[in-house]
A = this chain, B = another copy of it.
Amino acid sequence: MSQSAKRVVLVSRPVGEPKASDFRVEDHAVPTPGDGQVLLRTIWLSLDPYMRGRMSDGPSYAQPVPIGGVMEGGTVSEVVATNNPGFARGDIVLSRAGWQTHALSDGKGLAKIDPDLGPVSTAVGVLGMPGMTAYTGLLDIGRPQAGETVVVAAASGAVGSAVGQIARIKGARAVGIAGGADKCRYVKEELGFDDCVDHRDPGLAAKLKAACPKGIDVYFENVGGAVFEAVFPLLNAFARIPVCGLIAHYNDTEASAPKWAPSMMRNVLTKRLTIRGFIVSDFAARHADFLRDMSGWVREGRVKHREFVTEGLDSAPAAFIGLLKGANFGKQLVRVGPDKA
């Protein structure tokens, strides 16, 4: 195997916004699988906001990527060579191979993807981690009831789009927040949200209030920042706030107290709010439920999704930097290799 392979390594911990120079693309020889190993070729690399956390060494639920290490990430990969009886050449697997064209694996943590469920890219999208984040956070923490109002930001993105559509399936009013008129139009017209508000609109708070005439019962928190400022006064008694991300803050270099802070706990008490952080793996036991429900909804056209693809591993750093700014329109993917080698 003298083919050439590529990987993207982290060369410095970003301060504030990541820059292209925080990453380096390295060429190397395609590795050879040892005993019990498989060689994986990356087809799709998923880019997700949580990766910003892996680039810093502050306290978190996961270890940071070491300096000089390959950036972490979920991939859809093909088994191209195998010394592991559990895997055959041509198997398509979900892997955490990271930002690279090839990777070795001992098979642990690989999950075979059933191509009959949909395009294999959905295994890192609507039928993968982002979809399951939406499903478990909304249903297991948010628990929307028919007639309640659910608000979610980044509503055209991988998680937000699923949150609003599942909320509608459960009979709730779904209000999205998205960046710009095009995304808002898509959220309302294509995804069927009841309303969508542009977070760039200086009248965000008033527009959101108008879009939620009966207040907010579930706020699915994935952004923080100005959106939460607008949401906070609209929360109803017994509102639930699943917190899975704070993308507006990932590049913060200094933490400052948000406007809602002084009255936060008083509101928690008087409104009987529930605020709960989670990551998708906390709900691993719900995976089968998720896959059954979500693949059904996608098949029936009740949950739509949109992919935003950049071409080639080299595009990953710029695409990731753009993702943190909302430059993507739909689930951010990097096409690293063809479906079939």
Contacts and interface: CB of A to CB of B under 8 A. Distances in A.
A275 interface: yes
Contacts of A256: 262
Interface string A227-270: 01000000001000001111001000001111001111111111
A169 to B, nearest CB: 26
Given A264-B261, A265-B221, A275-B275, A61 B270 contact: yes
A268 B276 contact: yes
A272 B262 contact: no
A153 to B, nearest CB: 13
A53 B267 CA distance: 13
A243 B265 contact: yes
B269 A246 contact: yes
A270 B273 CA distance: 19
Q: Give the dominant DSSP class at A's interface.
A: mixed
Given A257-B257, A257-B261, A266 B282 contact: no
A243 B270 CA distance: 10
A279 interface: yes
A59 interface: yes
Contact of A270 (B60, B221, B266): B60
How many copies of this chain are found per oligomer? 2
A224 interface: yes
A125 B171 CA distance: 43
A258 B268 CA distance: 15
Contact of A272 (B61, B246, B249, B270): B61
A265 B224 contact: yes
A308 interface: no
A295 interface: no
- Considering residues A224, A249, A270, A271, which has the most beta carbons from chain B within 10 angstroms of its beta carbon? A270
B257 A269 contact: no
A85 B334 CA distance: 77
Interface centre among A224, A244, A268, A277 (most CB of B within 10 A): A277
Contacts of A282: 272
A278 B240 CA distance: 12
A274 interface: yes
B274 A276 contact: yes
Contacts of A279: 272
Contacts of A272: 61, 276-279, 282
Q: Which 8 A-B pairs have the closest CB atoms?
A: A255-B262, A261-B261, A257-B257, A268-B277, A257-B261, A269-B277, A274-B276, A272-B277
Interface of A: 53, 59-61, 221, 224, 228, 237, 243-246, 249, 255-258, 261-279, 282
